[in-house]
Structure formats: C-alpha cells, structure tokens
Amino acid sequence: MPIPKLLSKTKLMSGYRCLKCAYLTVHHPELKAPITPEKQALFDEGNRVGEEARKRFPNGILVTNPPWDFYGSLKKTRELIAAGVKTIYEPAFEYQGCFARVDVIQFSKETEKWSLYEVKSSTKLRLEQVDDVGLQAWIIAGSGLKLEKISVMHLNSECKYPDLENLFTIEDVTQQIRDKYRSIMPKVKEIFETVHLESAPDIDLGPYCVKPGDCDFKEVCFTEKKIPEISVFNLPQIQDRKWELYKEGIIHLDDERLKDLTETQQRMVEAEKTGQRFVNQSGVKEALSTWKFPLVFLDFETINPSIPEYAGTSPKQQVPFQFSVDVAQKLDGPLTHAEYLHKDATDPRPVLISALLKACEGSGSIVAYYAQFESARIQEMADCFPEHREKLLALLPRMVDPLPIIREHVYDKAFHGSFSLKAVGPALLGDRHSYEGMKVGNGLEAQRAYQELTDGGTPPARKDEIYKSMLEYCGKDTWVMVELVKWLYQV
C-alpha cells in the first residue's frame, strides 16, 4: 500500500503504542479488528462530548470539512486564521508530513498567542492523552502558530445534572508537554522510518498490546506468535504477571515451569490438564447457609451517558433503565417473575424504583451476580430519591452474590478462566443457558438497544421488536442465575 503524504495523528499515535502497530496501520489496515457497533457507539459519544465542549467557547467557527479531507481542512483553517477568527473548532495543521485536527484553538489578543484545548470523554486525565496532545501541540507549533497554553478538557465526575456548567475539568498540561517536547521529534522520526520499511518490524508482544485497550492488531500478532486459545493469558486475575511468564517463554498451561499460582489459577491449570470439574461442596454449602428464602433474583441493565441526562447524575454514572426479578419461594417451586423496561427518553428511575420495591417486597435474600454493581445502583437511587431512600437502603443488607462462591469453590474447564455469568452459566448448566444467537446478548448491546428504543425516530414496529428482545435478554440473566443457584444448592 502506498504511504500517504500526510500521516494522521491517529496513525502516528499507533506508533506510540508500538512501531509494528504504526506499520500495520499504514500498510495493512485490512488486518485491523473491525469496528464493532459498540466501538462505533463510543466514537459517537465522543463526538457528542466534543460538540458540548465547543459551547464553552462561544462564537467560534467550525471547520466543516470531513475527516478524510486533509487538504481542504488545512486550507479552510489557514483562511479562518488569516481572516482573524479568534476561536476555531476542529482546525487542521500539518508539519513535516504529520497531520492533526484538534478540538478547539483560541487566540488571545493580549499575548497574541493561541491556546489549544483538546477534549476527552474520560473522567480522568490519562498518560496517553498527554502524549496525544503533545503530538498535536508539536504539529501546531511546527506549522507556525504561536502556542502559549495547552489544556485537556475531560469530563468532571463532580458535575450533576441539570447543572452542566461544570461538565468539564480543564487541566493545563503545558508544562507536562514542555517536559516531553524534545522526545517528540525523535519519536516521529522513528515512526516515519518504520512505515518506510519493506516489512513490519519484529516486535514482541507486551503490555502495550492490551493497554490502553486492546490493540487493533492483537489477534493478528497473537496468532503470529502462536498463542493458543487457552494460555497463561487466560489465567484468572493474572494481571501483569502474564507478561513476565510470556517473557520467560511460559505460555502453555501444562508448562512444568508454571509455578506460584493462586489457588484459583492452579484450579484452572488442573482443569485444563485433567478436564475434571472442581467443586468444594462443603465450601458451597457453608456459603449458602446464610441465604434466606424466598430468594429474589435481580438483574439491572444500565446506561451511562457521558453527558448526564437525569437529575442528580454525573458523567458516565450507571443509571438503571431495566430490571428483571424472579422470586423463588423454595428451590423447586414455581417462579414469580416481575420486570420493568423504561420505554421513552425520560428519567427511567422514578417508575423503575416503584416497580423494583414492589418486586423485591419481603425479607428473603436478593441474589445478584456481581452484586456490588446492583448494590451501588440501589445506593445511588437512594441518594437521589429521598422519598424512597429508606425502602431502597433496606434492600442492601439482603443482597447476596453467587459469584464469589463460584470463584472460590467451583471451577470447570469450560470457564476458560472467566467467572462471568455468560461463561459460568453454559459451562455448568449446558448450552441452553448460552446467550449465543440472542438479538440482545450482552450489556453493551442492551445499552444500544435502549438508545434505539427511546429514540423518537425509531418506527413503532422496530421499537416493539427491540422491547421484546431486551425483555428476553434481561429475563435470561435472572433465569440463568436461578438455575445456577439451584445447581449450587444441589452440589
């Protein structure tokens, strides 16, 4: 593939992750992991945050050229600067073959210099964001613009809807970038040299393959390095130690040198070798002994908008819009089902809370898989709705969780190192408990479905279809939990 005359900041930043990544991005974009609808939803959310940020800089002019129109956006930016425009959104710059489009630049009449504001839809400043903005600043300054201040605008977790005045925290990173400035040119040079190589450089796997987030070429490189489907990388809670093991050449779980594992990790290794399921019956029995019938199985689906939309919520706060409850009076008795799914764009919580309190009435244990999540949502709703506070808080001491019981006392080869409900359910209970083929099959899909369901432009027939699929999905979560808990009681 011919090397483009201008390398975009995105391509250059891939070289900050690893030089092979830069090479593959330029020469083999077809090997990149496809953009999933969930990833696309994140990009769209980022764009919305960018638009919101612009409102903090009134009277600016937007460079409207599409992202692929490098030369058009450069020309438009030059024209706006020459015309004396003081605030420009999405201007473009080039320097030494590097191209960047930044979020906002603003001119100060007093100092006759520009400030750069880069918007990020995270709630904290991250290290790689400083590199990213540093590269932009280097390109802008190289193009001839005098920069005096460089800032990252990220979401402020203290902000609470409806007051969005403090939606952003502006962090001045000028000094951090000054400290790194000298390293930018050599890095860019190294990236350019790499993309001009005949073939991809041989770079070994490392922590940069998965941080920040998975590299787009992870599958390609892991296959190249012959990492089997199940390896030390799948060991539960292995964290960074997997890289130490990999460096020592320990990849396979049957490697004799694989030592100093936690109990859970050792169980996985044994299960892989022997195929035998591990169950500590007395441990399971003891853990279940504190649970009280009727068991109330609860699952929430939530949405976490970057720009808060509901009273008292903060950026990225998880807000429940759906729940499913199954109540079992006794282990083999019939289940009573209750559910709620909010249908429009209004705050889902007021109606949901009433329905939830009704569904959880009584005194039995409330079973949630990874109950910390459900408990945190109940606590947040109690904080936001004083009229329901007492009753909501009364649910918390009733919460119990099958996840730690399984993690401590059960292991099956088919878990493949994961203790998520979606891994554990089918492994212990069979394929009927798998989520394969469901129209909505995980939490992120449920979020996207909810956005479509509550979008005024979605046709009614489509809304009906989504509504059904969402009820099916959340209901499946509680049903799998019921079956899982029955299984635990019976082991």
Return the number of other C-beta atoms located less than 10 Å from residue 371's C-beta: 19
Shortest Å, Cβ 243 to ligand SF4:
11
| Using rule CB under 6 A, residue 147 touches ligand SF4 | no
The interface region with ligand SF4, picked from 15-23, 36-44, 65-73, 403-411 by CB under 6 A, is 15-23
Interface residue with ligand SF4, options 11, 17, 76, 388 (CB under 6 A): 17
Query: Which residue, 196 or 432, has its beta carbon nearer to ligand SF4?
Result: 196
> For residues 386 and 317, is the Cβ–Cβ distance under 8 A?
no
Amino acid letter at 39?
Answer: K
Is residue 491 a contact point for ligand SF4 (CB under 6 A)? no
Nearer to ligand SF4, 8 or 176 (CB): 8
Q: Does 20 bind ligand SF4 (CB under 6 A)?
A: yes
**Residue 283 identity:** G
CA dist 349 and 27 (Å) reads 49
Question: Please, which residue, 23 or 479, has the CB nearer to ligand SF4?
Answer: 23
Cα–Cα distance, 477 to 369 (Å, whole number): 9
Yes or no: say if 227 and 413 are a contact pair by the CB < 8 Å rule. Answer: no
Q: What is the largest CA-CA distance in the chain?
A: 78
Q: Which stretch binds ligand SF4 (CB under 6 A): 19-27, 37-45, 77-85, 239-247?
A: 19-27
Residue 246 beta carbon to ligand SF4: minimum distance, rounded to whole angstroms: 12
DSSP state of 141: H
CB of 34 to ligand SF4, least distance (A): 16
Q: Cα separations (Å) of 171 from 88, 116, 120, 391? A: 20, 11, 11, 41
Structure tokens at 229: 């489907």
Q: Does 233 bind ligand SF4 (CB under 6 A)?
A: no
> Nearest distance from residue 27's CB to ligand SF4, in Å?
12
Range list of H helices, 280-401: 281-288, 349-359, 371-384, 386-393
Q: Does 327 bind ligand SF4 (CB under 6 A)?
A: no
Amino acid at 170: I
Nearest distance from C-beta of residue 244 to ligand SF4, angstroms:
17
Q: Is 269 helix (H, G, I), strand (E, B) or coil?
A: helix
Nearer to ligand SF4, 218 or 252 (CB): 218
Q: Which is nearer to ligand SF4, 203 or 399 (CB)?
A: 203
**Residues 27-86 interacting with ligand SF4 (rule: CB under 6 A):** none
Closest to ligand SF4 by CB, 26 or 104: 26
Instruction: Give yes or no for residue 21 binding ligand SF4 (CB under 6 A).
Output: yes
Q: Shortest Cβ distance from residue 235 to ligand SF4 (Å)? A: 19
Q: Which residues pair with 297 in a beta bridge?
A: 326, 367
Which CB atom, from 246 or from 323, has the smaller least distance to ligand SF4?
Answer: 246
Any contact of residue 221 with ligand SF4 (CB under 6 A)?
Answer: yes
Burial of 189 (0-12, 13-18, 19+ CB in 10 A): exposed
Cα–Cα dist 228/230, whole Å: 5
Closer by beta carbon to ligand SF4, 32 or else 241:
32
Torsion 65-68-70-72 (CA) sign: negative
Restricted to residues 181-220, the positions that interact with ligand SF4 (CB under 6 A) are 203, 205, 208-209, 215, 217-218
18 near ligand SF4 (CB under 6 A): yes
Q: Smaller CB distance to ligand SF4: residue 133 or 221?
A: 221
Asked whether 205 and 225 are in contact (CB, 8 A), the reply is: yes
Identity of the residue, 117 or 246, whose beta carbon is nearer to ligand SF4 in the bound complex: 246
Give residues with Cβ within 8 angstroms of 269, minimum separation 6: 235, 253, 254, 258, 261
Q: Is 13 in the site for ligand SF4 (CB under 6 A)?
A: no
C-alpha dihedral sign at 73, 74, 79, 85: positive
Write out the residues near ligand SF4 by the rule CB under 6 A: 17-18, 20-21, 24, 203, 205, 208-209, 215, 217-218, 221
